[in-house]
Each structure stands twice: as C-alpha cells, then as structure tokens.
Chain A
C-alpha cells in the first residue's frame, strides 16, 4: 500500500456513550475519487470530522503519506493538505469572494505578533486566477458570497482548496440543496480533481452522484466499513443492499 495518501488504522470514537466509529481501517489512494456513502449516523461524518480536525479520535492511527500524524485542529489538517468543504458551506456570506478565499491564510505584507497588513492587491489578483482555474465565471472577486448561488459557492470553496494546493479534498454532501444543473457542475468539479492530481473524497446520500464521478465506493453502516469496491466491480443495488 505505497500509494495510499491517507491511511487510517483501527479508528475508534465515542460520543458520550455512543460508539460512533468501531475500528475503521481505510486507505485513501492517491489521485483517486472515493465515494463515501452511508445512512445518517453510519459514522461517515465522524470519520471526516476526525480527518479534518474538527474532532479527535479516541483510539487508532492516522498516516498521511506514510507518516503517522496527529490532527487536533482544523489548521493541522489544512497544513497537511487536507481541505474539507462542508455541506453547510464553508463560506462567510457577509464577506467578499476574495476575502473568503483567504480566511485564516491571508497574504500579509508585514506582521507583528501574527497580526499584519493584508496584501489586498495580491488577494484580488490571486482570487481572480483561482476562480478562473476551476472554470467558474464570476463578475468580480469583490462580490459578496451571500449573493452567489449554492453551486457557485461550492465552486468558490473548491477554488480555494485548489489554490492552497490541497492534496486531499473532502466534499461533505456538496450536492445537497442544489438544482440539477448545479449538481452537474459540482460533479464536474469532482471529476476534474483527478486531472489535477488531487485525491477526492465525495460524501453523498445520492448513489447516482457517487457512481457518476467516483472510482471507488466505500459504504459505512453502524460505525464500520461494510463495503469497499471499485465502481466497476459493484452496482448501486449492491451498495444499497449492505446499508
């Protein structure tokens, strides 16, 4: 398993008495689009939250590119190249696209004790490039994110992850509440990740979406992995059967 970018070994998590993850072992292969499916409470969100630093595992090991790592806060995950795009949207609607792209990672001209002057020129020019790179056409990086459609917001979130050269992009239910047309666009984004050499983890309730854009499907139920197959070796019916 030399080509695994993230490996989790025997991961356990308890939430006040509930055993949410029961020894999950899983390899995320470099450059692959992996679909993670499961019912509510199956443990997929818990697994993702641990990988993105929102929660920490109670037991088990995480390796990134072969090295054991400790992820205790979102910034740790981001520094390891793991970027998560949440279903509730990881954008601040009252701020501009350019500001949103750089939240927490602002380019600074100089700083004292971590507080510094923003390089606004750089933010504007880089955000225009970042948005164009994901084939998203927006009028101006100064537009408020609150004025964008759901699909456009996911696009900006993906542009942000791409801009910071993330190696693994986790998309948590990115097609929820989106129109058919916008869903297509997001699925297109997931497909294009592979061309850019980014590993994608696509979480969805919608099996059709997963089968449309992923190379491999992992199904979880009751805190365990119950199915792990390549898309061409399985079918929607088989996955539904194990959930």
Chain B
C-alpha cells in the first residue's frame, strides 16, 4: 500500500491529472451539464490534436534537456510551404513531404547551432521563432494562397467514429502519442533521451551520443509542430501566416503542467497531453460557465505555477516515504 502510494506520488503527471478531473467536475456543474455533452466534447476533441502534438514534441525535447520556442512559427511555416508548393502544381503527398523536410531542417538548425556553439536553446529557438515566422510571411507574399479543392481532408480532418465523435486528426494524434510514449518508456533510445536530459556528463561517459540524441529530439519536435500546423490549416481551410502565435508558450505550459522538468530528465508524453487537455478544458469551460473569457490566460498562468509547486511538493513527499532497507 505504502509502495503503491509512493509510486503514484512519484508520477510527474499526477498533479495535472488530479487538476483535470477536478476542473471537469466543476465545469460540468457550473455549465449545468452542457460541458460533457457530445457536441461540446466533439468541439474540444476536434482541436485538441493540434496543440497536443506540439506539446508532445516540446515535452520530449524538454526531457532531453532542451527547449524550443520556435514551434509556433514552424506550426505556420510548414502548412504555408505546402500551400505555396500546391499552388504551383505540386501534388499533396509531395507537398507534405517537402513541408516535413522543411521542419526537419529547422529542427536540425536549432539543434546544431545550440550544440555546436554551446549556447542555450532558449536563444537559438527564440531567433528561429522570428526567422521562421518571417519566412512564412515572405513565401506567402503577404496573401494566404488559395488551397486546392481536392485535399485529402478525409485522411486528416473528417469526422469519424461513433456519433462522429472524433476528427481523423484525433486518430493521428492518438497514434503518434502512443508511439512516442512507447519510444520514451520502452526503447533504448528513450533511455538515452532521459539520461541525456537527466545528467549529461553521466550519459556522455557511458558512451551515449548525446549530441545526436538532442538533435533527433529537436527535429522530432519541429516535425510534430509542423504536422500539427497542417492539421489546423486543413481544418480551417486556409493557410493564415499568423496561426500558432503564442503557441510556443502554451506548449511549454502544457509540458510543465504535465510534470516535465525544465531542467530535463523528467516528464512523460502522457503528462504533456494531460497539460494540453487541461488548457483546452479551461478555454472551453470558462466560456460555458459564463466567465469573462479574458480570464483564460490568467487561469493558465496560475495553473502552470500551481502544477509545478504541487509536483515539487509531491515529489518531496514521495522521497520522504522511506521503504524498507
């Protein structure tokens, strides 16, 4: 019993999960049962994958000990790249591939510059935030290009499932979440990510290629963000150059609410998803409870600080529970 208690207290995503359940109950009562009805859930689940995929990437990168502020800009750059290519006649699969390659390149540059010149990734990716956003506007020429009519929306945004509950994007999201989660907890590469972020000198002395591990995490983060941006553009039907603004900080908030440590080494994919869901639930629930929507950012800010404090406290409690021996 004591062991079980300790094991659960040590789970980094626990604080976020408890908050999420509490908030759902509160919003359900305050909205007189509207919050959990099918229409509202469909709305939340329809946009969750976009922020969720970004949060997964940011969480994994944070576990490896690095940080990415450029995800919001990449979120816009990737679909804009695709749109411009498609306007010039490229077929969708080719445009998708090119878009993902652009993301991979951005991630590579972020990682390479950070590692090669030993500067904080906060700085590298802050620079990239501006550069990628600027590129997005430049390639679009200031006007969002018109998307072709025959896009494979059935593969990405159409409603599916019982009662048309989910969009296809949710299936992608669930699949990617499962894969990345497995990667982190059940593969040697996941072990290397945690070791690299947990204590770099030890990881390096045990022969782990820490630079390559970080580089891979940077690239994964950028590609997930770009893919998420494409999902949003397919949902909205137009590649606006301004999408994803402010997303970087929300993604960091998601990761942190979900228990990821800014210092690296600690965190889970599930935690990042819980954090994102929490933010979406607050966004939606405040409106349904007739609270002034301008409280949204206040709530997220408060929650971020609260979740981290709660997590630190729980970890301390868990440590204090001494087992036999």
Interface, chain A (partner B; CB < 8 A): 52, 54, 73-75, 78, 84, 86, 88-95, 99, 102-106, 108, 111, 114-118, 120, 137-140, 143-144, 147
Given A103-B191, A108-B188, A115-B189, is A74 in contact with B199 using a C-beta cutoff of 8 Å? no
Given A92-B265, A94-B194, A137-B325: A78 and B207 interface contact (C-beta under 8 Å): yes
Q: Which chain A residues lie closer than 8 Å to B183 at the CB level?
A: 115
The answer to whether A118 and B187 touch across the interface, beta carbons within 8 angstroms, is yes
B207 contacts A95, CB within 8 Å?
A: no
Chain B residue at minimum C-beta to C-beta distance from A160: B206
Q: List chain B residues, Cβ under 8 A from A137.
A: 325
Task: Closest A residue to B261 by CB, please name it.
Answer: A94
Residue contact B187 to A84, C-beta cutoff 8 Å: no
> What are 27 A-B contacts with C-beta separation under 8 Å?
A54-B205, A74-B205, A74-B207, A86-B205, A90-B202, A92-B195, A94-B194, A94-B199, A94-B266, A95-B194, A95-B195, A95-B265, A103-B192, A103-B202, A104-B195, A104-B207, A106-B188, A106-B191, A114-B188, A115-B187, A115-B189, A116-B188, A117-B186, A118-B190, A139-B323, A139-B324, A143-B323
- Report the minimum CB–CB distance from A49 to chain B (whole Å): 10
Q: Contact string, B204-216, partner A, CB cutoff 8 A, digits 1/0?
A: 1111100000000
Among B191, B202, B325, the residue within 8 A (CB) of A89 is: B202
**Nearest-Cβ distance from residue B53 to partner chain A, whole angstroms:** 21
**Residues 206-247 of B at the A interface (beta carbon under 8 Å):** 206-208
The one of B199, B206, B265, B266 in contact with A104, judged by C-beta atoms closer than 8 angstroms, is: B206
Q: A94: which of B186, B265, B319 is its contact (CB, 8 Å)?
A: B265
Task: Name A117's contact: one of B187, B204, B261, B323 (CB within 8 Å).
Answer: B187
Size of the B side of the interface (Cβ < 8 Å), in residues, is: 28
Name B's A-contacting residues (CB within 8 A): 10, 183, 186-192, 194-195, 198-199, 201-208, 261, 265-266, 319, 323-325
Q: For the complex, give the distance between the alpha carbons of A105 and B191 in Å.
A: 10
Query: Which of B187, B198, B201, B206 has the most CB atoms of chain A within a 10 A radius of its CB?
Result: B206
Asked if A92 and B207 make an inter-chain contact with CB atoms under 8 angstroms apart, the answer reads: no
Q: Which residues of A contact B325 (CB under 8 A)?
A: 137-139
Contact call B199/A91, Cβ cutoff below 8 A: yes
A74 to B10, alpha carbons, bound, how many Å?
32
A residues within 8 A CB of B202? 88-92, 103
CA distance A145 to B188 in the complex (A): 18
- In the bound complex, residues from chain B placing their C-beta under 8 Å from that of A89 are 202
Closest residue of chain A to B323, judged by CB?
A: A139
- The 10 A-B residue pairs with the shortest CB-CB distance, nearest first, are A75-B207, A92-B198, A94-B265, A106-B188, A94-B198, A139-B325, A104-B206, A92-B199, A74-B207, A103-B206
